[in-house]
Amino acid sequence: MKVFQIQDDWSIDNIKLAERPEPTPSAGEVLLKMKAASLNYRDLVVPKRGYGALTGTLPIIPLADGAGEVVAVGEGVTRFEVGDRVCPMFMQKWIAGEASKERLTNTLGGPLDGTMAEYMVLHEQGVAKAPANLNDEEAATLPCAALTAWSALVTEGNLKAGDTVLVQGTGGVSLFALQFAKLLGAYVIATSSSDDKLQKALDLGADEGINYKTDPEWGRTAKKMVGGDGVDHVVEVGGTKTLPQSLRAIRFGGTISMIGVLSGGDMSGALGLIVTRQVRLQGVTVGHRDSFEAMAQAIEKHTLKPVIDRTYPFEELREALDYLASGAHFGKICIRH
């Protein structure tokens, strides 16, 4: 079968098209014919061995997100039948419950082989059914980006109707957070450096938009937008350069879900504000399978559609990664197998 793999050395330039034997499922496993994959910021970090030893050893098949069809099942499989459309879970051993080292480190796209392969064999417990209302590319966006947003707002954030949410930027996680927040009846403020992208966010359902390039004190602006008390929940993707403003925007007792460090990983905010305002700073790393299945039900029942910016053919993985790195996208970038 055809695969892409990081080979020989750690770098984006060492992602090469290669051949591997087609796998067969053992007891408890399912064989998936992969139909689509999607990109996450993580996929730019792994080829540089950005997670150290947790990234795994070469060669590794990259990408964490995907969707496929069950084409064979091993002995004893009960969760799936041939023909089911499914998504591999990013964290193969986090089915439910609290996070642990084992649950958070058995991840696809490093150290485990990822979704840029024609076929994958996975344990049936590491797979979940895709929402019936989505096509293959749309389903492929769910395991990391969508589940991270769902975990931040629903599983960990206990979001309720009438809450106020601030989402940063217009990448995959932020747009899913916008969509889920609106689905649950929240008031949403979106930030971006692009007025064009802000308009698209408003068209998607955001109630307010702030251009953080023209308004560097956007945290104070967001606070004023909701009456001066501050927002209930911030989906924090920036890190070093954005956290200080998030701390300005959040209300007393509010929650900041830390899901990314796109602008740096150092702490430089006024940490006293976390204490004096009793702010909850919650780290979020994707989520477990039970949350994915709850999210998939919500997506199907409300006919929610992921936002896809662009889809590339399988052979153009490098072009897709370069486009992701450019930051020009609005929503998800997909690969069609």
Query: Same structural domain for residues 100 and 214?
Result: no
Query: Same structural domain for residues 137 and 263?
Result: no
Query: Same structural domain for residues 242 and 294?
Result: no
**Is 75 part of any domain?**
yes
Distances (CA, A) of 103 to 86, 97, 108, 294, 309: 20, 10, 12, 19, 31
**Is 151 part of any domain?**
no
Closest residue by Cα to residue 221 from 235, 233, 231: 231
From first to last of its 337 residues, the chain has per-residue pLDDT tens of: 999 999 999 999 999 999 999 999 999 999 999 999 999 999 999 999 988 778 899 999 999 999 999 999 999 999 999 999 999 999 999 999 999 999 999 999 999 999 999 999 999 999 999 999 999 999 999 999 999 999 999 999 999 999 999 999 998 999 999 999 999 999 999 999 999 999 999 999 999 999 999 999 999 999 999 998 999 999 999 777 788 899 999 999 999 999 965 545 566 666 777 887 889 999 999 999 999 999 999 999 999 999 999 999 999 999 999 999 999 999 999 999 9
Tell me the CATH number at 255: 3.40.50.720
Query: Same structural domain for residues 278 and 293?
Result: no
**Is 214 part of any domain?**
yes
Domain of 257 in residue numbering reads as 157-283
Query: Same structural domain for residues 268 and 296?
Result: no
Query: Same structural domain for residues 269 and 296?
Result: no
**Is 224 part of any domain?**
yes
